[in-house]
Amino acid sequence: MTTLIVLGVIAVALVGFVIGIYNRLIAARNRYKNAFAQIDVQLTRRYDLIPNLVEVARKYMAHEKDTLEAVIQARNGAVSQLKKTAADPTDPDAVAKLNQAEQGLSGALGRLFALSEAYPDLKANQNMMQLTEELTSTENKVAFARQAYNDSVMSYNILRESFPNNLVAGTFNFQPAQLLEIEDEAKREAVKVDFG
């Protein structure tokens, strides 16, 4: 009888232990999903600024139609991928594709700003200066939100991979989370614009 009681206590303790690990994994996953929601807000703001920026530039850069179209195309691709990723930020493939879309957009914006240096009237345009200032500010907010997200992802992944948590994570199919990062070192910096 005492053996049965001891086994019962051990079973209850083991179930309680598993439930505790499961709940910590759920909390960590929800933290990184919330952190992604903050990135979503900032990237949406960034994407909303870009058409206005291109429209102002279009008036001055009529000969640079290909560059302007490339920016809009990259922006639309990034918007589309952000929507897919926001639907399930736990999907590592979607986050990786968002990384790629962001790299493409950053490259297109970089080319636009490099070309705009050749247009003094554009650089002096008040709307352009205001939009680039807002875009730069938004880029900084994106960088901070990305860092918070990556910190949350790292905490989740460490929790998920630690023993004995990895046993519970494997049993309940907790997948690894993907960092949101920019591969190219040159693109890690926020877009720098000097119209002054």
User: Where do we find the tokens 């910096």?
Assistant: 189
- pTM reported for the whole predicted model: 0.79
Residues 29 and 86: beta-carbon distance below 8 Å: no
Residue 187 pLDDT greater than 50, yes or no: no
Mean pLDDT to the nearest integer, 148-159: 95
* Between 91 and 192, residue with greater pLDDT: 91
Name the band, by pLDDT with cuts 50, 70 and 90, for residue 183.
Answer: low
d(CA 52, CA 120): 19
- The pLDDT of 8-25, averaged and rounded, is 94
- pLDDT for residue 116: 83
pLDDT at residue 109 tops 70: yes
Asked if the model's pLDDT at residue 165 lies above 90, the reply is yes
Query: Which residues, at least 6 apart from 128, have a Cβ–Cβ distance to it below 8 Å?
Result: 53, 56, 57, 116, 122, 195
pLDDT on residue 185: 46
pLDDT at residue 186, as a whole number: 47
Q: Which residues contact 189 (CB under 8 A, 6 or more apart)?
A: none
Instruction: Tell me the pLDDT tens digit for each residue of 19-76.
Output: 999 999 999 999 999 999 999 999 999 999 999 888 888 887 777 888 889 999 999 9
Comparing 17 with 58, which gets the higher pLDDT? Answer: 17
**What average pLDDT is seen over the chain?**
88
Name the architecture of domain 19-188.
Answer: Up-down Bundle (1.20)
Averaged pLDDT, 114-132: 83
What are the boundaries of each domain within the chain? Answer: 19-188
Are the CB atoms for 92 and 177 separated by under 8 Å? yes
- Kindly compute the dihedral angle of the four CA atoms of residues 127, 132, 133, 135, in this order, to the nearest 10 degrees: 120
